Amino acid sequence: MQGTKSPTFPEQHQNRQPGSEAMMNPQPQYDNPNYKAAGKMNGMRAIVTGGDSGIGRAVALCYAKEGADVAILYLNENRDARQIVGDIEALGRRCHAIPVDLKGEEQASRAVAEAVQKLGGVDVLVNNAGVQYVQNSIMDITREQLMHTFESNFFSYFYVTKAVVPKLKGGASIINTASITAFEGDEKLIDYSATKGAIVAFTRSMALSLMQQNIRVNAVAPGPVWTPLIVSSFSSEDVGTFGSASPMKRAAQPCELAPVYVYLACGDSSNVSGQVFHVNSGTVIN
């Protein structure tokens, strides 16, 4: 049973999504200095959408530690993007930051082509970019918000996947970021939760579609995670208690999710496809 909420973070709010990691207090922990890399992704090339901050940044850095070169596709958070590029290059790996609005198929296709050209190919795709808008009722969700949420969270996954699939070879992996809301719902994130449910169904369908090509497709369903999306979507008061109602009574840090994405990208998960991995501060999903 979830407990009552208690203070967890300083109250704060950013007025623009998907938000800036550099402006957060405290800044998310995207790097685990105690992580022991084992060369699980040596020579691999990965594309990570939303890779400038939050979960995407942690995943990109962890991939680089494991020996991969990375291209991050991001919207407009140039300061955050420059930082992760520098972090990855300091490890001796390549990182290409490509600003793009993935809501359009043509833009998504162009960005993928640029990323593949710069990396010399692609072995792993992580679909991770997204937005969410808090509303008290379905009556408050306009058609414009609904379309924007689906275009950002689901259509972008569809477009990027469609552009990447012809570039993939056997043994490649696609990993989609879903959410606990796909399974539990959220009374104030109705359209967001619906997009995450669509991502779960998309993951399972694509896993079946690509099975004969030996391309695996899985998803990660995070619970509360301390990312810029939180401070740019929730009120200051809700940010102050974010994650405290979970069984662990805290939100995860992005670096706590990254190893799951490594597992799903490398040969350790060679017999795993069509699955959803729950990293959610202790909530049991049956």
C-alpha distance from residue 10 to each of 13, 237, 242 (Å): 10, 9, 10
What secondary structure letter does DSSP report for 224? S
Instruction: Say how many C-beta atoms besides its own lie within 10 A of residue 109's C-beta.
Output: 16
- Those residues with Cβ within 8 angstroms of residue 69's Cβ, 6 or more apart along the chain or in another chain: 44, 45, 46, 93, 94, 95, 119
Catalytic residue, candidates 157, 192, 261, 263: 192
Whose CA is closest to 62, among 222, 227, 228, 262?
262
Rounded distance between C-alpha atoms, residue 39 and residue 37, angstroms:
6
- Those residues with Cβ within 8 angstroms of residue 253's Cβ, 6 or more apart along the chain or in another chain: 28, 29, 30, 225, 226
Alpha helix positions (H), the chain = 54-65, 78-90, 105-119, 143-150, 156-164, 181-184, 190-209, 228-231, 236-240, 258-265
Residue 277 tokens, joined: 């991995």
C-beta of residue 279 within 8 angstroms of C-beta of residue 256: yes
Active-site residue flag, 192: yes
Tell me how far apart the terminal alpha carbons of the chain are, to the nearest angstrom: 15
Rounded distance between C-alpha atoms, residue 67 and residue 175, angstroms:
18
C-beta of residue 262 within 8 angstroms of C-beta of residue 41: yes
The residues facing 127 across adjacent strands are 176
Q: What amino acid positions are annotated as catalytic residues?
A: 192
